[in-house]
Amino acid sequence: MSANKESWGSRMGLILAMAGNAVGLGNFLRFPVQAVQNGGGAFIIPYLVCFLVMGIPLLWIEWSMGRFGGKSGHHSTPFIVDTMGKSRLWKYIGVFGIWTNIAVASYYCYLESWTMSYVFHSVIGTFSGLDQEGVSNFFNEYVSLGISTLGIPYEPIFFFVLCLLLNTWILSQGLASGVERVAKIGMPLLILFGAFLAYKGFTITAGENGAINDSSVGLNFLWTPNFDQLWSPSVWLAAAGQIFFTLSVGMGTVQCYASYVRSKDDIALNAMSAGWMNEFVEVVLGGAILIPISIGYLGIDRVTELVQHGGLGLAFRTMPYLFYQWGDVLGAVAGVMWFGLLFFAGITSSLAMGTPWIGFLQDEFNWKRKPAAWSFGIFVLVLGMPTVLFFEYGVFDEYDYWAGTVSLVVFALFESILFAWIFGMNKGWREIISGSDIKVPGIYRFIIKFVTPLLLLWVFLGSLFTPKGGDWAAAFSGSWELDDSSIIKKIMNSGLKEQLAAATDAAQIE
């Protein structure tokens, strides 16, 4: 029990903070890249289905878990789940919901610090007049920590520390006057910048300013359903993974934010407002910038090739160059808007990652908010250093895989079982609909009890035992050889030395 009596300032503030939590770098960088890597139109159907049968149920589960735990003064998952299940085991599973956040924050905040730095460089005109190779070289030098503008040595580290200081400072201001206030400023600006860039993305015309395709080429690539790969489990796994990451479910942040909702207030409608806002920003804005613009100038084949090495390059080494095709002024403005919107998207999410740890220390160890916030900043700095120092060796991607992908699925699987089967569907349903301002469709009672946990189990087992080349038909009819992308193979191969060697080889091939 804690003396922590904080709560959200207003309903609008809560929705914006939750939407800010969900809307993040994932919407603008991860979603388009996942879509391209999984064949564009082949991705979009599984993606939308996963939203309806896993995303929405998990949002309701997590919001109601949070409000339920908040009634007994708990604001972090170890103790929230402890109030729901009798076994001690749950408490330890709940630790995931703090740990994952800190681990994800460790690479996420580094990426967030790039966006800060790139806003700065767009303002001072670093990319103006550079050709594609020049912008690309700047990025290479940046990640190898070679950039030092204005005499700041190790500039990327400087921005990383600055970014963490900013996060720490906002978190130490508290919920309503820190996190909520930032969301109220950041979210509208993000949507404004996003709308401008999406407008530019929608109006790319072949032959103008060096574009080779109309916007429609990229948009059709993304939106024309392609049923060929509809039954490919690897596409489904990617779609499920994106839904988790983008909605911030399976992390512990949604429960934490919801634990500050007053016990009589609505959660069913609030959860939908924030969740659908995330989807709007993801598929409408996120889908209208990176893909149509890069395909407009480079074509589908080239873009597909570029994202095979990960999606960050497209955003940081290609976009700043392409913007300048629109002229010097618009080029700089678009750069500020693009990296500015990424920054707002990033910070409203990284604040969400800090909140569970702070709530945990406050509730259970009576820490004050300020030292708790500082301990988060320092923790992330230390844990994030490997991604900064060894970025080129693939450490960043390792973090994203283990903390940002696998843990989310594992935690979501456990919590959906806890909610529907241990806590019980009757009580669970009552929690969801109590105080509700909408009528929750009855079908979701069935979905939450059966469909969501089974699908999660499938996703988990599927990634545990992915067969070679993702070819399940062959695997079931013959001998089952594990793909290198399966979790089991990854654990077996997880000698860091071999991985670094492999990553170095890959870097040299590039």
Which residues in this chain contact Na ion in the complex, by CB under 5 A? 22, 24, 26-27, 246, 278
Handedness of CA 290, 292, 295, 301 (dihedral sign): positive
Query: Least Å distance between CB 354 and Na ion?
Result: 17
Beta carbon nearer to Na ion, 69 or 404: 404
Query: Least Å distance between CB 84 and ligand PHE?
Result: 21
Tokens of 180: 């909520």
Beta carbon nearer to ligand PHE, 147 or 345: 345
Beta carbon nearer to ligand PHE, 22 or 459: 22
**Which of Na ion, ligand PHE, none is residue 387 near (CB under 5 to 8 Å by kind)?**
none
Query: Least Å distance between CB 24 and ligand PHE?
Result: 2
What is the amino acid identity at position 360?
F
Query: Least Å distance between CB 248 and Na ion?
Result: 7
Query: Least Å distance between CB 436 and ligand PHE?
Result: 24
Q: How far apart are the first and last CA of the chain?
A: 54
Position of minimal CB gap to Na ion: 246
Is residue 497 a contact partner of residue 505, using CB atoms and an 8 Å limit? no
Q: What is the DSSP string of 38-66?
A: TTTHHHHHHHHHHIIIIIHHHHHHHHHHH
Tell which residue, 60, 58, 96, has the closest CA to residue 77. Answer: 96
Query: Least Å distance between CB 420 and Na ion?
Result: 25
Beta carbon nearer to ligand PHE, 22 or 179: 22
Interface residue list for ligand PHE (CB under 6 A): 21-22, 24-27, 104, 245-246, 248, 251, 253, 349, 352-353
Beta carbon nearer to ligand PHE, 25 or 267: 25
**Which of Na ion, ligand PHE, none is residue 2 near (CB under 5 to 8 Å by kind)?**
none
Tokens of 211: 């574009």
> For residue 227, with 0-12 CB atoms within 10 Å meaning exposed, 13-18 middle and 19 or more buried, which class applies?
exposed
**Which of Na ion, ligand PHE, none is residue 21 near (CB under 5 to 8 Å by kind)?**
ligand PHE
Is residue 85 a contact partner of residue 421, using CB atoms and an 8 Å limit? no
Tell me the backbone φ, ψ of residue 482, rounded to 5 degrees: -75, 140
Tell which residue, 280, 282, 244, 283, has the closest CA to residue 61. Answer: 244
Give, in order, the Cα–Cα distances in Å from 11 to each of 110, 123, 259, 261, 274. Answer: 31, 35, 14, 9, 11
Beta carbon nearer to ligand PHE, 117 or 355: 355
How far is the C-alpha of 32 from the C-alpha of 8, rounded, in Å? 33
Position of minimal CB gap to ligand PHE: 24
Beta carbon nearer to Na ion, 18 or 455: 18
**Which of ligand PHE, Na ion, none is residue 467 near (CB under 5 to 8 Å by kind)?**
none
Beta carbon nearer to Na ion, 147 or 238: 238
**Which of ligand PHE, Na ion, none is residue 255 near (CB under 5 to 8 Å by kind)?**
none
Handedness of CA 238, 244, 248, 252 (dihedral sign): negative
**Which of Na ion, ligand PHE, none is residue 251 near (CB under 5 to 8 Å by kind)?**
ligand PHE
**Which of Na ion, ligand PHE, none is residue 352 near (CB under 5 to 8 Å by kind)?**
ligand PHE
Query: Least Å distance between CB 33 and Na ion?
Result: 13
Is residue 376 a contact partner of residue 166, using CB atoms and an 8 Å limit? no
Beta carbon nearer to ligand PHE, 297 or 411: 411
Query: Least Å distance between CB 453 and ligand PHE?
Result: 21
**Which of Na ion, ligand PHE, none is residue 64 near (CB under 5 to 8 Å by kind)?**
none
Look at the block and give the residue holding tokens 């609030």: 270
Query: Least Å distance between CB 6 and Na ion?
Result: 25
Query: Least Å distance between CB 281 and ligand PHE?
Result: 9
Is residue 77 a contact partner of residue 99, using CB atoms and an 8 Å limit? no
Beta carbon nearer to Na ion, 61 or 204: 61
Q: What is the DSSP string of 212-264?
A: -S-HHHHHHHHHS--GGGTT-HHHHHHHHHHHHHHHTTTSSHHHHHHTTS-TT
